[in-house]
């Protein structure tokens, strides 16, 4: 099993460190040839969504990754990654446009910038949540499962093979969200092996 981490910009190294803790093989995606190796899952980290969108197209990664996601490749987007996967962006132009969610960018305002809280994820235990100039999900389609709500705002959701969080689980010691994603990856791998 190997998880690809989009490493064009943003917090990709922090995701790699979490996968190391979990003992999950991974590699960085920086150019088209990186997509030649087998990949069972994809992480799109936080960062600047507009910069990442531009680089995805300039480096000819966009079409291949979008097709793989549409074909069921498990993908986990945090913060900017959430924005890149959304079908609708309040005041913005969608990138991959694959997940049936409407997103508000920089929803908590530039002045507040970031904050820390803890809340439930997927109806299970409470986990730490670090928000950095974060978006939130304004609305979801019928096939989208809401996994976390903070202050009446949706901050984590899943639709089929797509998992998104407005917060940065890679910056906290709790492994719950990444473990959830790895279970998705394992299910996908087993399904394709059979």
CB 136 within 8 A of CB 149: no
What the block records as the tokens of 184 is 């998705």
CB 56 within 8 A of CB 94: no
CB 74 within 8 A of CB 2: no
What the block records as the tokens of 46 is 């936080």
d(Cα 113, Cα 135) in Å, to the nearest integer?
Answer: 11
**Which is nearest to 115 in space by CA: 71, 80, 166, 46?**
166
Dihedral of alpha carbons 81, 150, 110, 131, sign: negative
Residues 6 or more apart from 25 whose CB is under 8 A from it? 1, 2, 3, 19
The CA-based diameter of the chain, rounded to the nearest angstrom, is 51
Residue with tokens 């709500």: 149
Please give the positions annotated as active site. Answer: 79, 168, 170
């Amino acid at each position: 099993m190997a998880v690809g981490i989009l490493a064009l910009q943003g917090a990709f190294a922090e995701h790699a460190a979490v996968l190391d803790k979990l003992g999950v093989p991974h590699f960085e995606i920086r150019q088209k040839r990186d997509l030649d190796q087998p990949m069972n899952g994809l992480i799109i980290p936080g960062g600047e969504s507009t910069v990442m969108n531009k680089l995805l197209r300039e480096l000819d990664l966009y079409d291949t990754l979008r097709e793989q996601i549409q074909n069921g490749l498990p993908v986990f987007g945090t913060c900017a990654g959430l924005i890149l996967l959304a079908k609708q962006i309040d005041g913005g132009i969608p990138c991959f446009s694959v997940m049936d969610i409407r997103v508000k960018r920089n929803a908590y305002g530039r002045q507040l910038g970031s904050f820390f809280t803890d809340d439930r994820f997927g109806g299970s235990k409470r986990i730490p949540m670090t928000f950095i100039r974060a978006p939130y999900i304004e609305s979801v389609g019928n096939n989208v499962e809401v996994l976390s709500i903070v202050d009446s705002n949706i901050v984590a959701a899943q639709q089929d093979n797509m998992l998104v969080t407005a917060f940065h689980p890679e910056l906290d010691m709790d492994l719950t969200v990444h473990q959830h994603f790895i279970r998705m990856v394992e299910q996908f791998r087993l399904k394709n092996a059979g």
